[in-house]
């Protein structure tokens, strides 16, 4: 497997893990109902951090 292919697999794996984490946070705590970036923004806001749109 080439270095670029390995990076693509790692990036896809990370993206899937972050999507799963966002879904879990939203389902169990936030109930924001948005996509991954919206859920992470809601999480940041809930913990006192400003987010840029």
Q: Please give the residue that has the higher pLDDT: either 2 or 21.
A: 21
Please give the Cα distance from 28 to 42 (Å, whole number). Answer: 13
pLDDT of residue 53: 60
pLDDT band with cut points at 50, 70 and 90 for residue 35:
very high
pLDDT of residue 20: 98
pLDDT band with cut points at 50, 70 and 90 for residue 49:
very high
Give which of 23, 11, 22, 15 is closest to 44, Cα–Cα. 22
Every domain of the chain and the residues it spans = 3-46
Alpha helical stretches, state H, the chain: 3-25, 36-46
């Amino acid at each position: 497997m080439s270095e670029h292919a390995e990076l693509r697999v790692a990036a896809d794996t990370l993206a899937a893990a972050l999507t799963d984490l966002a879904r879990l946070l939203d389902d169990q705590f936030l109930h924001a109902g948005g996509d991954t970036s919206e859920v992470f923004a809601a999480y940041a806001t809930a913990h006192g951090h400003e987010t840029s749109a």
